[in-house]
Amino acid sequence: MAASVELGEQLSLLRKAAGLSMEALASQAGVSRMTVQRIEAGADVRLQTLQDLLRVLGLELMLVPTALRPELQSFIQGQGKLIGQPVGVEAPPSAVDRLRKRSQPGSS
């Protein structure tokens, strides 16, 4: 139940940050206002319902290995900077960026 309560609290914060009422979020996600209210109160939620609500909020669900969660949270809270990087240094390129660069004509 603790995970459901935390999820409900996060959903409530995200909804309010988006300036949406429970009714507006529910309507745009295709669920009832009562469903949003129950989820925010800590009730269990179906995965599809959660995905629909998050879509309205401009978010998507992403599964992260438990062992990587602390590092990922630090990276996000550091606004994409690695701890110890000098000020002004951008985040390192992702694996996707490196692959794209390699596939461009003239790249080595």
Q: In the chain, what are the domain boundaries?
A: 2-56, 66-103
Query: How confident is the prediction for the chain on average, in pLDDT?
Result: 83
11, exposed or middle or buried, with CB in 10 Å at 0-12, 13-18, 19+? buried
Percent of the chain exceeding pLDDT 90 equals 50
Pick from 34, 18, 20, 26: which is nearest to 53 by CA? 26
Given a cut of 90, whether residue 90 has pLDDT beyond it is no
pLDDT class for 87, splitting at 50, 70, 90?
A: low
Closest CA to 64 of 75, 52, 56, 49: 75
Fold of the domain built from segment(s) 2-56: 434 Repressor (Amino-terminal Domain) (1.10.260)
Q: What is the pLDDT of residues 8-60, one digit of tens each?
A: 999 999 999 999 999 999 999 999 999 999 999 999 999 999 999 999 999 99
